[in-house]
Amino acid sequence: MLGLSLFYIAAAVALAATVMAMSRTNAVHALIYLIVSLLAVAVVFFLLGAPFAAALEVVIYAGAIMVLFVFVIMMLNLGDRGEQQEKQLLQPKIWLGPVFLALLLLAELIYIMAATEVQLDVEIISAKQVGISLYGPYVLAVEIASMLLLAGLVGAYHLGRQHLRRDQEPTATPKQIEEPR
């Protein structure tokens, strides 16, 4: 019964963080909520008895993929407007939501680890076995996910550069439009 309520708490955190990630207009805010959502999904995997999947969720998605997204945001280089947004990010009110959700997940994870007896059936899995699993029956899913991430990266770069170019174009003033004398 307790495990079920912990599952629902982690699922609610994942749902709330995902909704917040989709509703944020600032890319960095959305990224922070997306990281919290991925951490909540890792807790759900852990509660379902898949600690390896939970670890992969944290390492691959909350770690590596989020670094890729941060790289894209940095690559867009929004100039002075970006610097002003970064200063606004340092305000504590921006961090309250993600911090609250992450602390809720941390408290839940600490409680789970303290309350459960650890019975380890340790079996060493080699990198070759993980690769065979990923590129055996799941090869199509892995390739689709990689193409989707590549398309997102290229699309973000292309749209960001067009937006930056548009912002840098000089606007004509009425004095410049007049014919030369």
Confidence of residue 68 (pLDDT cuts 50, 70, 90): confident
Cβ within 8 Å of residue 41, ≥6 positions away: 14, 57
**In the chain, where the domains are located:** 1-120, 123-171
Which residue, chain included where needed, has tokens 């590596």?
64
Percentage of the chain lying above the pLDDT 70 cut? 69
Look at phi and psi of residue 137 and say left if phi exceeds 0, alpha if psi is from -120 to 50, else beta: alpha
Q: Which CATH number fits domain 1-120: 2.40.50.180, 3.40.50.2300, 1.20.120.1200, 3.90.78.10?
A: 1.20.120.1200
Which residue, chain included where needed, has tokens 């840098």?
168
Confidence of residue 54 (pLDDT cuts 50, 70, 90): confident
Q: Which two tokens stand for residue 74?
A: 């940095």
